[in-house]
Structure 1
Amino acid sequence: MKINVEEIRSKSLEELEVIINELKSEQLRLRQQKNSHSIKPHELKEARRNIARAMTVRTEKLYEQAWNKHKNDKVLPKELRPKLTRAKRLALTPKQQRKREKHMGGYRTTKKIYYSLSE
């Protein structure tokens, strides 16, 4: 039977660990019954998905705790930083861009296109 995620979200981390262990033992029981053909085919799939749902909620709670712990820090840990492309991670910050433009004498730092693309 499909578990209700809203109910799981209201539980603490310790309760979630207990639920996950119960779901895993249920999955083990279903795998043992599979050989005797006494279960329906969808029950094993449903058990795997229930475990995944519970583990997802646990991961979200751990992430939220880490975020609350580090939200006022100057530098966030790598796990909490946004996932960006390499170019965006290495790009200059707005403050660094202003400093560079000031140093370059007000010249634009990007290349201008002097030709039209239609020709």
Structure 2
Amino acid sequence: MWPLDPSRKEVVRFAISCRVLTLILQVLTRFLASSTPVVYWFPAYLLQDQELLLRSLGTMPWKPLVEDSPSRQKVPRNSIMGLLYNWKTCSPVTRYILGYFLTYWLLGLLLHCNFLPWT
């Protein structure tokens, strides 16, 4: 192996430490996201507690998916889509939670497709 001068040794050491740190962070976030439901329970609890649109059990304040069905049965939409459609009327806590998850999803989609480290 060729001898490395001190500046190259520092660069190699820095590159290896950055890669190890990135690897550790990716593995930790994968373990936390897949093995602990608390990460998802807490935002769900905040949404149920803070958001008025989710408090009513049987009624949906937004339009149903099928308005004039032959059986006159209302088919509710996904509650997250209902919150996104009514973004302006949502509480700030709901906006922050939805914004965080949407940003995480979009960044993950863009970075993973470009072979960049993202979990």
Q: TM-score, normalised by structure 2?
A: 0.30
Larger Cα-atom Rg: 1
Taking structure 1 as the reference length, the TM-score comes to 0.30
